[in-house]
Amino acid sequence: MFRMRSLVIVLLLSLLSGCRLNQLMVWPERSSADPVLPPTIEGAELVAWLNSRTEGLESWRSTDVKVHVRMPGLPMPQKLSGSLACSAPRSFRLVAQNLVGLADFGSNDDLCWAYAKPGESIVLTWQHEDAGLLSMLPGGLPHLDSDWLMTILGVAPLDPASWRLEQDGQRTVRLVSAESDSEGRTLERSILVDLVKGEAREHVLRDGYGNVQVRAQLSDYRPQGGVDLPRIIRVNFPATETELTISIGKISVNGPAEARLWEPPRGDGLQQLDVREVLAQLERGGGPQFSEPSATLPSEARANAALRQIAEQRELQDEPVFDAPATPPRRFRWFPYWK
Protein backbone atom coordinates (compact mmCIF):
# COMPACT_ATOMS: atom_id res chain seq x y z
CA MET A 1 0.00 0.00 0.00
CA PHE A 2 2.84 2.40 0.87
CA ARG A 3 4.50 1.84 -2.52
CA MET A 4 1.21 2.46 -4.34
CA ARG A 5 0.67 5.70 -2.42
CA SER A 6 4.18 6.90 -3.24
CA LEU A 7 3.64 6.14 -6.91
CA VAL A 8 0.38 8.14 -6.97
CA ILE A 9 2.08 11.12 -5.30
CA VAL A 10 4.89 11.09 -7.88
CA LEU A 11 2.39 10.98 -10.75
CA LEU A 12 0.36 13.87 -9.31
CA LEU A 13 3.48 15.99 -8.85
CA SER A 14 4.46 15.28 -12.43
CA LEU A 15 1.08 16.38 -13.75
CA LEU A 16 0.87 19.51 -11.58
CA SER A 17 4.41 20.68 -12.21
CA GLY A 18 4.20 20.18 -15.99
CA CYS A 19 7.52 20.85 -17.62
CA ARG A 20 9.11 22.21 -14.43
CA LEU A 21 10.12 18.74 -13.37
CA ASN A 22 11.95 18.32 -16.69
CA GLN A 23 13.72 21.62 -16.11
CA LEU A 24 15.00 20.40 -12.76
CA MET A 25 16.34 17.19 -14.29
CA VAL A 26 19.50 18.18 -16.16
CA TRP A 27 20.82 15.27 -18.19
CA PRO A 28 24.59 15.32 -18.80
CA GLU A 29 24.28 14.44 -22.48
CA ARG A 30 21.93 17.37 -23.10
CA SER A 31 24.03 20.00 -21.42
CA SER A 32 26.06 22.11 -23.83
CA ALA A 33 29.23 24.09 -23.22
CA ASP A 34 29.52 27.77 -23.98
CA PRO A 35 30.65 28.49 -27.55
CA VAL A 36 34.37 28.97 -27.98
CA LEU A 37 33.73 31.76 -30.50
CA PRO A 38 30.99 34.43 -30.30
CA PRO A 39 28.38 34.61 -33.08
CA THR A 40 29.34 38.25 -33.63
CA ILE A 41 32.94 37.43 -34.54
CA GLU A 42 34.43 39.35 -37.46
CA GLY A 43 36.10 37.73 -40.46
CA ALA A 44 39.62 38.90 -39.59
CA GLU A 45 39.18 37.69 -36.00
CA LEU A 46 38.05 34.27 -37.19
CA VAL A 47 41.00 33.94 -39.56
CA ALA A 48 43.36 34.91 -36.73
CA TRP A 49 41.75 32.30 -34.46
CA LEU A 50 42.12 29.51 -37.02
CA ASN A 51 45.74 30.49 -37.67
CA SER A 52 46.46 30.43 -33.93
CA ARG A 53 45.43 26.78 -33.72
CA THR A 54 48.38 25.79 -35.94
CA GLU A 55 50.76 28.64 -35.16
CA GLY A 56 54.38 27.61 -35.66
CA LEU A 57 53.46 24.46 -37.57
CA GLU A 58 55.68 24.04 -40.64
CA SER A 59 55.51 20.30 -41.21
CA TRP A 60 54.17 17.07 -39.78
CA ARG A 61 54.30 13.38 -40.55
CA SER A 62 52.44 10.22 -39.60
CA THR A 63 53.38 6.64 -40.40
CA ASP A 64 50.11 5.40 -38.91
CA VAL A 65 47.56 6.24 -41.60
CA LYS A 66 44.54 4.25 -42.80
CA VAL A 67 42.87 5.08 -46.12
CA HIS A 68 39.39 3.89 -47.05
CA VAL A 69 38.58 4.31 -50.77
CA ARG A 70 35.21 4.20 -52.52
CA MET A 71 34.99 4.76 -56.27
CA PRO A 72 33.09 3.45 -59.31
CA GLY A 73 34.45 0.22 -60.71
CA LEU A 74 35.62 -1.15 -57.38
CA PRO A 75 33.74 -4.33 -56.48
CA MET A 76 34.19 -3.36 -52.84
CA PRO A 77 35.74 -0.44 -50.90
CA GLN A 78 39.51 -0.59 -50.58
CA LYS A 79 41.32 -0.39 -47.25
CA LEU A 80 44.96 0.64 -47.33
CA SER A 81 47.64 1.47 -44.76
CA GLY A 82 50.55 3.82 -45.12
CA SER A 83 52.00 7.21 -44.30
CA LEU A 84 51.24 10.89 -44.85
CA ALA A 85 53.60 13.85 -44.65
CA CYS A 86 53.41 17.54 -45.50
CA SER A 87 55.72 20.53 -45.33
CA ALA A 88 55.23 24.17 -46.27
CA PRO A 89 55.02 25.59 -48.81
CA ARG A 90 54.00 22.79 -51.25
CA SER A 91 55.46 19.44 -50.20
CA PHE A 92 53.05 16.55 -49.68
CA ARG A 93 53.27 12.75 -49.77
CA LEU A 94 50.62 10.07 -49.28
CA VAL A 95 51.70 6.46 -49.76
CA ALA A 96 49.18 3.71 -49.03
CA GLN A 97 49.13 0.02 -49.86
CA ASN A 98 47.42 -3.28 -49.20
CA LEU A 99 48.03 -6.87 -50.25
CA VAL A 100 46.93 -6.08 -53.79
CA GLY A 101 48.72 -2.88 -54.68
CA LEU A 102 50.01 0.58 -53.84
CA ALA A 103 49.06 4.23 -54.40
CA ASP A 104 51.52 7.13 -54.26
CA PHE A 105 50.41 10.77 -54.49
CA GLY A 106 52.71 13.69 -53.81
CA SER A 107 54.07 17.12 -54.66
CA ASN A 108 57.11 19.29 -54.14
CA ASP A 109 57.96 22.88 -55.04
CA ASP A 110 58.23 22.01 -58.74
CA LEU A 111 55.62 19.36 -59.62
CA CYS A 112 52.95 16.89 -58.49
CA TRP A 113 52.65 13.18 -59.25
CA ALA A 114 50.40 10.14 -59.05
CA TYR A 115 51.35 6.47 -59.32
CA ALA A 116 49.49 3.24 -58.63
CA LYS A 117 50.05 -0.46 -59.07
CA PRO A 118 48.81 -2.77 -60.39
CA GLY A 119 48.64 -0.57 -63.46
CA GLU A 120 50.90 0.99 -66.04
CA SER A 121 54.56 1.39 -64.99
CA ILE A 122 54.18 5.13 -65.39
CA VAL A 123 54.33 7.99 -62.90
CA LEU A 124 51.95 10.70 -64.09
CA THR A 125 53.29 14.20 -63.33
CA TRP A 126 52.00 17.74 -63.73
CA GLN A 127 53.02 21.28 -62.85
CA HIS A 128 51.11 22.99 -60.04
CA GLU A 129 49.48 25.39 -62.47
CA ASP A 130 48.27 22.42 -64.58
CA ALA A 131 46.15 20.86 -61.83
CA GLY A 132 42.99 21.86 -63.71
CA LEU A 133 44.01 19.67 -66.65
CA LEU A 134 43.56 16.49 -64.59
CA SER A 135 39.80 16.71 -64.92
CA MET A 136 40.24 16.22 -68.68
CA LEU A 137 41.80 12.76 -68.26
CA PRO A 138 39.52 9.79 -69.05
CA GLY A 139 38.72 7.92 -65.88
CA GLY A 140 38.96 11.06 -63.77
CA LEU A 141 42.08 11.33 -61.63
CA PRO A 142 41.12 12.48 -58.13
CA HIS A 143 43.36 15.32 -57.07
CA LEU A 144 43.75 18.16 -54.64
CA ASP A 145 45.21 21.54 -55.43
CA SER A 146 48.51 21.60 -53.52
CA ASP A 147 48.11 25.13 -52.11
CA TRP A 148 44.59 24.35 -50.88
CA LEU A 149 45.83 21.06 -49.43
CA MET A 150 48.47 22.86 -47.39
CA THR A 151 45.69 24.94 -45.80
CA ILE A 152 43.63 21.87 -44.92
CA LEU A 153 46.64 20.16 -43.35
CA GLY A 154 47.44 23.23 -41.25
CA VAL A 155 50.91 24.14 -42.55
CA ALA A 156 49.79 27.20 -44.56
CA PRO A 157 48.16 30.08 -42.62
CA LEU A 158 45.16 31.91 -44.04
CA ASP A 159 45.53 35.43 -45.41
CA PRO A 160 42.92 37.66 -43.68
CA ALA A 161 42.69 39.92 -46.74
CA SER A 162 41.55 37.02 -48.95
CA TRP A 163 38.51 35.88 -46.96
CA ARG A 164 35.07 37.29 -46.24
CA LEU A 165 32.66 36.06 -43.58
CA GLU A 166 29.19 34.67 -44.36
CA GLN A 167 26.59 33.49 -41.83
CA ASP A 168 25.69 29.85 -42.27
CA GLY A 169 23.59 28.93 -39.20
CA GLN A 170 23.21 29.44 -35.49
CA ARG A 171 26.42 27.66 -34.61
CA THR A 172 28.39 27.83 -37.87
CA VAL A 173 29.81 30.51 -40.16
CA ARG A 174 31.59 30.26 -43.48
CA LEU A 175 34.74 31.93 -44.75
CA VAL A 176 34.67 32.45 -48.53
CA SER A 177 37.44 33.36 -50.96
CA ALA A 178 37.24 33.81 -54.75
CA GLU A 179 40.20 33.57 -57.12
CA SER A 180 41.16 32.59 -60.66
CA ASP A 181 43.23 29.59 -61.72
CA SER A 182 45.99 29.55 -64.36
CA GLU A 183 43.37 29.09 -67.11
CA GLY A 184 41.46 32.19 -66.00
CA ARG A 185 38.57 30.22 -64.54
CA THR A 186 36.91 31.43 -61.34
CA LEU A 187 37.27 29.24 -58.27
CA GLU A 188 35.53 29.65 -54.92
CA ARG A 189 37.00 28.26 -51.73
CA SER A 190 35.03 28.12 -48.50
CA ILE A 191 35.69 26.99 -44.93
CA LEU A 192 32.82 26.01 -42.62
CA VAL A 193 33.68 26.84 -39.00
CA ASP A 194 31.94 25.46 -35.91
CA LEU A 195 31.64 28.38 -33.46
CA VAL A 196 30.86 26.11 -30.52
CA LYS A 197 34.11 24.17 -30.79
CA GLY A 198 36.10 26.76 -32.70
CA GLU A 199 37.09 24.24 -35.37
CA ALA A 200 37.13 24.19 -39.17
CA ARG A 201 34.71 21.44 -40.15
CA GLU A 202 34.67 21.57 -43.94
CA HIS A 203 36.68 22.91 -46.87
CA VAL A 204 34.93 23.16 -50.24
CA LEU A 205 36.28 24.05 -53.67
CA ARG A 206 33.72 25.12 -56.31
CA ASP A 207 34.14 26.05 -59.94
CA GLY A 208 32.75 29.18 -61.59
CA TYR A 209 29.35 27.49 -62.08
CA GLY A 210 28.97 26.65 -58.39
CA ASN A 211 29.71 22.94 -58.87
CA VAL A 212 31.61 21.28 -56.03
CA GLN A 213 34.94 19.96 -57.29
CA VAL A 214 36.34 18.80 -53.95
CA ARG A 215 34.87 18.62 -50.45
CA ALA A 216 37.05 17.86 -47.40
CA GLN A 217 35.35 17.22 -44.06
CA LEU A 218 37.49 17.39 -40.90
CA SER A 219 36.80 15.80 -37.52
CA ASP A 220 38.37 14.28 -34.40
CA TYR A 221 40.69 17.19 -33.59
CA ARG A 222 43.43 16.38 -31.08
CA PRO A 223 46.28 18.47 -29.66
CA GLN A 224 49.76 17.47 -30.79
CA GLY A 225 52.95 19.41 -30.21
CA GLY A 226 51.10 22.58 -29.27
CA VAL A 227 48.78 22.56 -32.30
CA ASP A 228 45.31 21.13 -33.00
CA LEU A 229 45.00 18.88 -36.04
CA PRO A 230 42.12 16.78 -37.39
CA ARG A 231 42.68 13.03 -37.27
CA ILE A 232 39.94 12.11 -39.74
CA ILE A 233 39.78 13.75 -43.19
CA ARG A 234 37.01 12.67 -45.55
CA VAL A 235 37.63 13.89 -49.11
CA ASN A 236 34.88 13.67 -51.73
CA PHE A 237 35.23 14.21 -55.50
CA PRO A 238 31.63 14.47 -56.82
CA ALA A 239 32.56 14.44 -60.51
CA THR A 240 34.23 11.02 -60.22
CA GLU A 241 32.04 9.72 -57.37
CA THR A 242 35.22 9.02 -55.42
CA GLU A 243 35.57 9.29 -51.65
CA LEU A 244 38.68 8.93 -49.52
CA THR A 245 38.53 8.65 -45.75
CA ILE A 246 41.96 9.24 -44.20
CA SER A 247 42.38 8.26 -40.54
CA ILE A 248 45.58 9.58 -38.97
CA GLY A 249 47.22 8.06 -35.91
CA LYS A 250 50.31 9.29 -34.11
CA ILE A 251 51.85 12.47 -35.56
CA SER A 252 55.36 13.94 -35.32
CA VAL A 253 55.48 17.73 -35.69
CA ASN A 254 58.21 19.91 -37.24
CA GLY A 255 60.65 17.04 -37.48
CA PRO A 256 63.41 16.60 -40.06
CA ALA A 257 62.56 14.82 -43.31
CA GLU A 258 64.76 13.24 -45.95
CA ALA A 259 64.89 15.11 -49.26
CA ARG A 260 63.84 11.95 -51.14
CA LEU A 261 60.50 12.02 -49.31
CA TRP A 262 59.48 14.85 -51.65
CA GLU A 263 60.54 13.11 -54.86
CA PRO A 264 58.40 11.02 -57.26
CA PRO A 265 58.84 7.24 -57.06
CA ARG A 266 61.70 5.86 -59.14
CA GLY A 267 62.73 2.36 -60.07
CA ASP A 268 63.44 -0.08 -62.84
CA GLY A 269 60.87 0.21 -65.59
CA LEU A 270 59.18 3.32 -64.14
CA GLN A 271 58.78 6.32 -66.43
CA GLN A 272 57.51 9.83 -65.79
CA LEU A 273 54.91 11.26 -68.18
CA ASP A 274 53.56 14.78 -68.03
CA VAL A 275 49.80 15.16 -68.16
CA ARG A 276 50.12 17.49 -71.17
CA GLU A 277 51.84 14.70 -73.12
CA VAL A 278 49.01 12.30 -72.32
CA LEU A 279 46.30 14.78 -73.31
CA ALA A 280 48.08 15.63 -76.55
CA GLN A 281 48.33 11.95 -77.44
CA LEU A 282 44.65 11.39 -76.64
CA GLU A 283 43.72 14.23 -78.99
CA ARG A 284 45.63 12.46 -81.75
CA GLY A 285 43.41 9.41 -81.32
CA GLY A 286 45.02 7.20 -78.69
CA GLY A 287 47.41 4.32 -79.29
CA PRO A 288 47.86 2.14 -82.38
CA GLN A 289 47.31 -1.12 -80.49
CA PHE A 290 43.65 -1.26 -81.57
CA SER A 291 42.42 -1.84 -85.08
CA GLU A 292 39.03 -0.26 -84.41
CA PRO A 293 38.56 3.55 -84.42
CA SER A 294 39.66 5.11 -81.13
CA ALA A 295 36.38 6.98 -80.81
CA THR A 296 34.57 3.67 -80.28
CA LEU A 297 36.91 2.54 -77.50
CA PRO A 298 36.15 3.03 -73.81
CA SER A 299 37.78 6.17 -72.47
CA GLU A 300 39.93 4.22 -70.02
CA ALA A 301 41.23 1.95 -72.81
CA ARG A 302 42.13 4.98 -74.93
CA ALA A 303 43.95 6.53 -71.97
CA ASN A 304 45.96 3.37 -71.39
CA ALA A 305 46.74 3.16 -75.09
CA ALA A 306 48.05 6.72 -75.06
CA LEU A 307 50.21 6.04 -72.02
CA ARG A 308 51.71 2.94 -73.60
CA GLN A 309 52.32 4.63 -76.96
CA ILE A 310 54.22 7.53 -75.42
CA ALA A 311 56.28 5.18 -73.29
CA GLU A 312 57.08 2.92 -76.23
CA GLN A 313 58.15 5.85 -78.39
CA ARG A 314 60.74 6.69 -75.76
CA GLU A 315 62.11 3.14 -75.73
CA LEU A 316 62.37 2.36 -79.46
CA GLN A 317 65.28 0.04 -80.14
CA ASP A 318 67.30 -0.42 -83.33
CA GLU A 319 65.35 -3.50 -84.43
CA PRO A 320 61.74 -3.61 -83.28
CA VAL A 321 60.23 -7.00 -82.43
CA PHE A 322 57.01 -7.66 -84.33
CA ASP A 323 56.21 -11.12 -83.00
CA ALA A 324 55.72 -10.14 -79.37
CA PRO A 325 52.35 -11.23 -78.00
CA ALA A 326 49.79 -8.49 -77.62
CA THR A 327 49.20 -7.31 -74.06
CA PRO A 328 45.57 -6.71 -73.11
CA PRO A 329 44.92 -3.15 -71.94
CA ARG A 330 44.65 -2.52 -68.22
CA ARG A 331 42.12 -0.22 -66.69
CA PHE A 332 43.01 3.40 -66.15
CA ARG A 333 42.77 3.38 -62.33
CA TRP A 334 44.71 5.37 -59.79
CA PHE A 335 43.97 3.15 -56.78
CA PRO A 336 44.65 -0.57 -56.32
CA TYR A 337 41.59 -2.68 -56.85
CA TRP A 338 40.43 -6.28 -56.65
CA LYS A 339 39.21 -7.59 -59.97
- Res. 22 pLDDT band, cuts 50 70 90: very low
pLDDT tens by residue, 66-101: 999 988 877 788 899 999 999 999 999 999 999 988
Instruction: Say yes or no to pLDDT of 161 above 90.
Output: yes
pLDDT value of residue 15: 31
pLDDT value of residue 27: 38
pLDDT, greater one: 282 or 108: 108
CA nearest 244: which of 115, 64, 71, 63? 71
Average pLDDT of the chain is: 78
CA angle in degrees (0–180, nearest 5) for 304-305-306: 90
CA nearest 44: which of 158, 207, 194? 158
Of 3-7, 95-99, 251-255, 332-336, which range is least confident? 3-7
Tell me the range of 170-174, 183-187, 198-202, 207-211 where mean pLDDT is highest.
Answer: 198-202
Give the SS3 label for residue 166.
Answer: strand
CA–CA separation, 175 vs 189, rounded Å? 8
Q: What are the extents of the domains in the chain?
A: 47-262
Instruction: Say yes or no to pLDDT of 320 above 50.
Output: no
- Res. 268 pLDDT band, cuts 50 70 90: confident
DSSP H helices, the chain, are 2-17, 20-24, 43-52, 146-152, 275-283, 299-314
pLDDT tens by residue, 24-66: 334 344 445 678 999 999 999 999 999 999 999 999 999 999 9
pLDDT tens by residue, 201-232: 999 999 888 889 899 999 999 998 889 999 99
Instruction: Say yes or no to pLDDT of 10 above 80.
Output: no
Q: What percent of the chain has pLDDT over 90?
A: 46
pLDDT value of residue 322: 40
Of 5-19, 203-217, 265-279, which range is least confident? 5-19
Give the SS3 label for residue 81.
Answer: strand
Tell me the range of 4-8, 170-174, 312-316 where mean pLDDT is highest.
Answer: 170-174
pLDDT tens by residue, 102-131: 999 999 999 999 998 887 889 999 998 888
Are 252 and 87 spatial neighbours (Cβ–Cβ below 8 Å)?
no
- Res. 142 pLDDT band, cuts 50 70 90: low
**Mean pLDDT within 136-140:** 71
pTM of the model: 0.74
CA–CA separation, 161 vs 207, rounded Å? 21
**The domain over range 47-262 is classified in CATH as 2.30.30.790:** no
pLDDT, greater one: 20 or 230: 230
CA–CA separation, 163 vs 54, rounded Å? 18
DSSP H helices, 159-233, are none
Of 5-19, 185-199, 304-318, which range is least confident? 5-19
